[in-house]
Amino acid sequence: MNRNQKFFLIISSLIILLVGCTGKNEINDLGLVMAVGLDKGEEDGTIQITAQIVRPADARGQTGAPSGQTGEPIWSTTATGDSIFSAIRNLGRHSSRRIYWAHNYIIVINEELAKEGIADIIDFFTRNHQLRMRTLVAVTPNPASELVSTVTGIEVVPGQAIDDIFLYNTITSAAPKTEMIDLQKAYLSESTQPVLARLSLNEHGISNKEPSDKPTIKQIELDGAGVFKDDKLIGTISADDTMGLMFFIENVKSSAVVTNCTDNPNESITVEIKDEKFEVTPTYDNNQVGFDIQFNTNVQLVEAGCPFTLEDKQQIEKLEEQLEETIKGKIEKVLQLAQKEYKVDILELGNTFNNRYPAEWKEISQNWDSVFAEAKVNTTVDVQITSSALLYRPTQSGKKNEGNQ
C-alpha cells in the first residue's frame, strides 16, 4: 500500500466516524419516558397523552426517596392533539428536553377511550422505531393521566413500580401480562381476540407520618382483565375470575385457592397450587367443535381454620374433591364469560383447534366467533394434596380446657 492509498484510507475512516456521530443523542438532552397514559380529549375526536418522565438528578435514592430530597423523582406532563403523534409533538411545546420513548415501561389506556377503539394506538406504538414491542399495555377505569402520575409503592419511579407488579402476576393470578407484541398478535389473529391487564387506583397505602385505622394513600393494583372484540373494549373480567383465564393464556406458577373445611362450612382452608399441568385437546365430531380440558395439580396446605391432618385419608379425599370442584368452577366461569356473555375467543382455543385440524379450520375460520360460542367443552380437574408445608398435624393450643379440669 503506497503513501497516497494510506492517506485516502485514513481520510475515509475519519469521514465515516464523523458521519456516524451526527445522529447521536446526549442523555442530558433527553426526557426519558417511563409510562404513558392515553385518555379522550375534552373536544370530540381528540386524544390526551400523559407522559411520566424521570428526573435522573432526583431519582438516585435507593430507599424510595429522591436523593437529597431535592425534588420529585418524576415529571408528568400532558398534551392533547387530533392524533397520538400530534399530541406527542405538542408535548414538545413545554418540555425542555426531547421526549424519548425507548425506556418506556407501560402504556395505559382509559376504558372510555378503549371502548371507541384502539386500532390507531396499536398502529402507532408498533410503528414507532423507538418503542419496544415488549412494552406492557393495560386498561384502566381511572383517568390514565392520574394512574401514570401516581407515585406509589416502594420504587422511586412509578413506571418501574408498575412493571415490577407484573413480575408476580403469575402468582397473584389477578391480571394477565400483556405486552405490545401480544396485543398486536391477537389483533392480527383470525381467531384470538385481545385481552389486556386491568389496573385500578385503590386506597391501600397507609401514611407513616399520619397513621390511621384505614388506608388513605392510593396504590396501583392488578384488577382483572379487559376483553376486546377486534379493537374495541366490550367488557371486563374481575380479579377473582381471572385465575381461570390465566390457566389458558399464561403459565401459572402458584395460586391460592380457598375452600370450606370438610366438617365445618363456616371455617376455611387455603391451599397453594403447585406443579400445575393444563392441557386442551380439540375434538371434531359430526361437524361439532369441542375441547377436552384436563387440569392436574399438586397443592400444599398453607392455612387451616379447622383441625386437619394428612393422616386422615378420608378427610384428604373429601377436601381434594372440594378443591376440584372449586378450580373447575373457576375454569368454567371464564368459559361462560368468553362463550356466552362476550362471545369472543380470548382463550386461544382457535389456534389450538387449527393446529390439530388445519383442513377443518379453513371451513369454519370465517365464522369462528359463532362456532366458538357453541363449542362443547368438557373440563376434568384432578387435585392431589401432597403436603401441608412444614406442619403435618394441625396447630392446637397446649392449654387445657377449664371445663375438663
Could you tell me if 215 and 254 lie in one domain? no
In degrees to the nearest 10, what's the CA dihedral of 317, 323, 324, 326?
150
- Does residue 317 sit within a domain? yes
Q: Distance between terminal CA atoms of the chain?
A: 108
Residue pair 225/245 in contact by the 8 Å Cβ criterion = yes
Q: Does 22 map to a domain?
A: no
**Residue 214 belongs to a domain:** yes
Nearest-5° Cα angle at 139, 106 to 190: 95
Cα separation values, 107 from 20, 35, 224, 330, Å: 32, 6, 17, 29
CA angle 360, 375, 243 (to 5 degrees): 120
pLDDT at 390 (0 to 100)? 44
C-alpha 205/C-alpha 325 separation (Å) is 35
Q: Is 378 helix (H, G, I), strand (E, B) or coil?
A: strand
**Domain of 297: which CATH number?**
3.30.300.210
Q: Is the pTM here over 0.75, yes or no?
A: yes
Tell me, yes or no, whether 404 lies in a domain: no
Whether 317 and 359 share a structural domain: yes
CB 201 within 8 A of CB 219: yes
63/127 same-domain check: yes
Whether 164 and 208 map to the same domain: the answer is yes
Q: How far is CA 260 from the centre of its chain?
A: 29
Domain match, 302 and 327 both: yes
Within this chain, do residues 254 and 233 fall inside the same structural domain, yes or no? no
Residue type, 139: V
Give pLDDT tens digits along the chain (405 positions): 565 555 455 555 655 555 545 455 566 667 788 899 999 999 998 999 998 888 765 555 444 444 444 467 778 888 999 999 999 888 878 766 777 788 899 999 999 999 999 999 999 999 877 778 899 999 999 999 999 888 776 777 778 888 888 887 778 888 999 999 999 999 999 999 999 999 998 876 666 666 666 666 788 899 999 999 999 999 999 999 999 999 999 888 788 888 888 888 888 888 888 888 999 999 999 899 999 999 999 998 888 888 777 778 888 899 999 999 999 999 999 999 999 999 999 999 999 999 999 999 999 999 999 999 999 999 999 999 887 654 555 566 667 665 544
User: For the chain, what is the radius of gyration of the CA atoms?
Assistant: 27
Residue 15 in domain: no
* Domain match, 257 and 194 both: no
HSE-CB at 143 with a 13 A cutoff on CA atoms is 12
- Which of 206, 237, 268 corresponds to the end of one domain? 237
- The answer to whether residues 39 and 129 belong to one domain is yes
Rounded CA separation 15/385 (Å): 70
Are residues 50 and 113 both part of a single domain? yes
Report the domain count for the chain: 2
| Alpha-carbon gap, residue 372 to 339, rounded angstroms | 7
In whole angstroms, what is the distance from residue 180 CA to residue 170 CA?
18
The last residue of a domain, from among 192, 218, 237: 237
Same domain for 290 and 166?
no
pLDDT for residue 157: 79
229 & 255 share domain: no
Domain that holds residue 287: 245-397
At residue 404's C-alpha, the angle toward residues 401 and 405, to 5°, is 95
For residues 101 and 70, the answer to whether their CB atoms sit within 8 Å is no
DSSP string, 241-282: GHHHHHHHHS----EEEEEE-SS-TTSEEEEEEEEEEEEEEE
